[in-house]
Amino acid sequence: MKAATIEFLRQRFADYYKTAPLSAPPSVEQREWAFVLFDPGYPEIRMRRHIGYPGKAELFEYARSVAPAHLYYSSAYYGMPHAPTMGEKEWLGADLIFDLDADHIVRGPYEMMLARVREETEKLIGMLTSELGFDEKEIYLVFSGGRGYHIHIRDISVRGFGSAERREIVDYVCGIGLDPGIVLSSHSPSLRGWRQRYIEALTEYLLILERMTPKDAAAELSALEGVGKVTAEEFMKRSRDLRSALQSNPSGVNLRDFATGKVIKALSAAKEGTFFSILQKKAALADEPVTTDTKRLIRLPSSLHGGSGFRVTPVPVRDLPDFDPLNDAVIFGTRPVRVDCSRPVTMPLLGAVHQVEKGESRVPEALAVFLCCRGLAELAGGETARAPG
């Protein structure tokens, strides 16, 4: 990134931090803080971390003085957050964090990725509240400023969880390690949770198989590890009865039957294929390592994201369906700025669709910041870094 572009971004971020209402998490003095600045050589990451503050006034004063490209704090609480090594920090507990990043879910135009990750976030919130017992008031939801959402749960009941307990939670929401025998043997009168999702996925898959020719269906099943042609053919003979049982009496499905049990267990163990894809769509695709990490650094809500120029924005859970990051997280305005774009870009922003050709052109300041942050453009020659006035 050219020096003029770095200076343009630094000054735009500085103008934001001068007057922006900043927020801080509870227990500022027990958190580790970390910053990435607009130093020469940016966007190469040179993180300044292992920093502690006695309170939010000192934190905000420093943030306003350096106008960081990225600002992070620890999900963990420490006795000595400023200690230079993790072993010296005296871990006291950590918030439960979920990270949903569109990069891990779908690839495509930015606006499409944002819409898709919002769907996953809504799905995860539903699991947390209706199946895992978290009150909606305990869920602090934040647009990451980039391509996803963070969910913070700060309830003291989860603060002491280690990586193993957090792994159990994220495995549940992601549908990892499902045992078909346990899922199907429940005698609950109502379908809910993963029992309902599993039965729906298996029913959908059976319908797909039944629409195939017998030869193609057998070939599909024979591709599963440990399933041969004879077993596949026997399974298909039972397919309609199995589908009927799943809909009327799931706990009556006989997994001891050789063909039925072998195929269902092989389907559950598969990490690819049609059934895996159907079941995965019913999971909440959270980033597992983030949740299991008891010492994670997470972006500070109300800071700016140096990869987009968007605000890391708290979103009340009830407002998520109507939240539009391409309007609601945009800080900068429409003053025209000349940039030199490295390739053509089509980008919806602030209620308009912008088509930017390769080479020099004038674009709204918000888009100029986004393109420069993304590494898609440089400030054009002769353009001033600071806004007039």
Q: Tell me: the pLDDT tens digits for 323-349? A: 999 999 999 999 999 999 999 999 999
Among 15, 39, 101, 340, the active-site one is: 101
pLDDT of residue 186: 67
Could you tell me the pLDDT band of residue 388, with boundaries at 50, 70 and 90? very low
Q: Is the pLDDT of residue 72 over 70?
A: yes
**Residue 128 corresponds to which tokens in the numbers above?**
């947390």
Among 15, 95, 287, 293, the active-site one is: 287
Average pLDDT of the residues of the chain: 92
For residues 32 and 327, what is the distance between their CA atoms, to the nearest angstrom? 31
Statement: the pTM of the whole predicted model exceeds 0.75: yes
Q: Tell me: the pLDDT tens digits for 142-187? A: 999 999 999 999 999 999 999 999 999 999 999 988 888 888 776 6
12-39 average pLDDT score: 96
Q: Is 101 part of the annotated catalytic residue set? A: yes
Q: Is 328 part of the annotated catalytic residue set? A: no
Among 95, 99, 293, 340, the active-site one is: 99
Q: Is 293 part of the annotated catalytic residue set? A: no
For residues 339 and 335, what is the distance between their CA atoms, to the nearest angstrom? 13
H-state helical runs in the chain? 3-19, 56-66, 110-130, 156-159, 163-174, 180-185, 193-211, 214-222, 229-237, 239-248, 258-269, 274-280, 288-292, 325-328, 365-374
Radius of gyration of the chain (CA): 25
